[in-house]
Amino acid sequence: MTIVPVALGTRSYDIQIADGLLDRAMDVLAPFVARGRMVVVTDESVAKRQLPRLKASTDSAGITLHPIVLPAGEATKSWSQLEMLTDQLLQLGIERGDHVVALGGGVIGDLTGFAAAIVKRGCGFVQVPTTLLAQVDSSVGGKTAINSRAGKNLIGAFHQPSFVLIDPSVLDTLPARELRAGYAETVKYGLIDDADFFAWCEAHGAELLDGDRAAQTEAIEHSVAAKARIVGEDETERSGRRALLNLGHTFGHALEAETGFSDALLHGEAVAAGIALAFGYSAHKGLCSADDAERVSAHFKAAGLPHGLTSAGVRAEGAKLVFHMLHDKKMEGGTLPFLLARGIGETFLARDVDLDDVAAFLDSAD
């Protein structure tokens, strides 16, 4: 069992990571049970594959598990599902001191966290992430949100979970494409500020994607430790430190918008292509070496991930992609900050990027 603390004063919590932990969930979730029952929000796919493991643990502890099962997919992060979920939580008589368990990927975690933030002006919640993306990133740090017509994640709140339970064995049932998408967010930590971890990814990424549990666990532990450190330094993304976690997201957002935020390009896939483009643009500006940009792109390619516009299936003009970027929520004072790199493990926030130059770069990029 590995325990990673997230140090946030009165909002501090632990992340516990262990293989098979879901089967003995009540060993660690008992403090979050009230009145002999546990309310668990999940989606239809996870309900079939992983919920029975949690239920076996609550059953043997004499706890009643009350599941709320929502449709799988990004469309669930919506006003209508939020309304349904909050109505159900209120009907169940959730109290402010209670905890709701989010069992699923980033969609279930983000939606449940937001519902928990607003029901009765805030109740507790626990994250039990079941995708690699959620295990290495979205379950930690308290960003909760739904999507609106104006864009993704535009309606939300910072609301920290009270606990995060990570069982790498749940990845056994995750489709390979989803595993790869989550891997992009894992590699991100190496590229931000940890060149040794990127080298580890180059050496062990293939094993991780092949289902090697030791490699998966090592990557998850390393990633959540990095995320916990960054969130501890800048909980609400004010100092610029947490913004580093958005590496590849501005370019990636444009690709997601161009592909209609659909299954044509998963979020993690867009992030992989976006990171490769951010490094490509950094090399184009002479900020980092062409060798480093090539190394990043080659690693995503080897992992079976998109690593540029063509492999992401995007053929739009640069100006149109920049237009999409301008509608992202990361605008600050009317300008668009970009995460660029001086090398592997040397990401920085640039606030003076010329958008016409970015558009011209994208017109020439592959």
Residues between 119 and 138 that touch ligand GLY (CB under 6 A): 137
User: Active-site residue among 53, 77, 143, 299?
Assistant: 143
Which is nearer to ligand GLY, 69 or 224 (by Cβ)?
Answer: 224
Nearest to 310 by CA among 319, 297, 299, 323: 297
Residue 227, C-beta contacts closer than 8 angstroms, at least 6 positions apart: 136, 137, 140, 141, 189, 245
Q: In whole angstroms, give the CA distance from residue 281 to residue 254.
A: 15
Can you tell me which of 26, 68, 119, 170 binds ligand NAD, judged by CB under 6 A?
170
Catalytic hit among 74, 218, 237, 256: 237
Q: Does 134 bind ligand NAD (CB under 6 A)?
A: yes
Shortest Å, Cβ 317 to ligand NAD: 26
Phi then psi dihedrals of residue 353, to 5 deg: -80, 135
Q: CB under 5 to 8 A by kind: which of ligand GLY, ligand NAD, none does 107 bind?
A: ligand NAD
CA dihedral 309, 313, 318, 319 (to 10 degrees): -150
SS3 content of the chain, % helix, strand, coil (to 5): 55, 20, 30
Residue 242: which of ligand GLY, ligand NAD, none does it interact with, CB under 5 to 8 A by kind? ligand GLY
Residue from 36, 152, 39 nearest 86 by CA:
39
The verdict on whether 246 is a catalytic residue reads yes
**Rule CB under 6 A: which of 320-349 touch ligand NAD?**
none
Of residues 261 and 292, the one with the C-beta less far from ligand NAD: 261
Among ligand GLY, ligand NAD, none, residue 110 binds (CB under 5-8 Å by kind): ligand NAD
Q: Which is nearer to ligand NAD, 152 or 307 (CB)?
A: 152
Question: Sign (positive/negative) of CA torsion 126, 4, 330, 276?
Answer: negative
Maximum Cα–Cα distance across the chain = 63
Q: Which residue has the CB atom at the shortest distance from ligand GLY? A: 245
Question: Which amino acid, residue 329?
Answer: K
- Mention every residue, 6+ apart, whose C-beta is less than 8 A from residue 100: 39, 40, 41, 89, 94, 112, 115, 116, 123, 124, 125, 126
Answer for which of 124, 141, 161, 345 binds ligand GLY (CB under 6 A) is: 141
Decide whether 265 or 362 has the Cβ nearer to ligand GLY. 265
CB contact burial 332-344 (16+ within 10 A = b; e otherwise):
eeeebbbbbbebb
69 binds, among ligand GLY, ligand NAD, none (CB under 5 to 8 A by kind): none
Among the listed residues 4, 50, 222, 261, the single contact to ligand NAD using CB under 6 A: 50
Amino acid at 161: P
Please, is 21 exposed, middle or buried when counting C-beta atoms within 10 Å of its C-beta (0-12, 13-18, 19+)?
A: buried
Q: Which x/- pattern over 234-263 shows residues binding ligand GLY (rule: CB under 6 A)?
A: --------x--xx-----------------
Active site annotation includes 242: yes
Catalytic residue check, 153 = no
Q: Which amino acid is present at 104?
A: G
**Active-site amino acid positions:** 121, 143, 185, 227, 237, 242, 246, 249, 253, 267
Footprint of ligand GLY on this chain (CB under 6 A)?
A: 137, 141, 143, 242, 245-246
Footprint of ligand NAD on this chain (CB under 6 A)?
A: 43, 45-46, 49-50, 72-74, 77, 104-108, 110, 130-131, 133-134, 137-138, 141, 143, 152-153, 170, 173-174, 178, 181, 267-268
